[in-house]
Structure 1
Amino acid sequence: MIGNVARKYSNWVQYRRTVDELSRLSQRELSDLGINRGDIRSVARQALV
């Protein structure tokens, strides 16, 4: 159970870091990566897989 909580917390931290990093990029930088600003959360969730 503790391991499950730790894993979920670790995934959440990674998700937040990804969202924060992508949110700091300019629209042009996001476009170069093929990401729309509205897709950031979805991309961050996919990064966990």
Structure 2
Amino acid sequence: MNLLRTYRNWRAYRETVNELGRLSNRQLADLGINRGEIQSIARRAI
């Protein structure tokens, strides 16, 4: 069970990083995010 949960968390993290990474700097700024924060935001999302 723990392995499955870890995998799902990793997938959620990667999807969040990928989605935020596809946004332009302007779109990120509109959300109050800069590129350097993407990974930490993705970690908090899981």
Range class of TM-score, shorter chain: over 0.9
Q: Distance in 1 between matches of 2:43 and 2:23?
A: 18
The Cα RMSD (Å) is: 0.3
Which structure ranks higher in relative contact order (CA pairs < 8 Å, sequence separation ≥ 6)?
Answer: 2
Deviation at 1:21, TM superposition (A): 0.2
The one-character-per-residue Cα deviations of 1:1-49 (angstroms, maximum 9, x if unpaired) are xx0000000000000000000000000000000101010000000111x
Segments of 5+ residues of structure 1 without an aligned counterpart are none
Using the size of structure 2 for normalisation, the TM-score is 0.97
Give the number of the structure whose alpha-carbon radius of gyration is greater. Answer: 1
Aligned to 1:16, the other structure's residue is in SS state: helix
Identity of aligned residues (%): 61
Segments of 5+ residues of structure 2 without an aligned counterpart are none
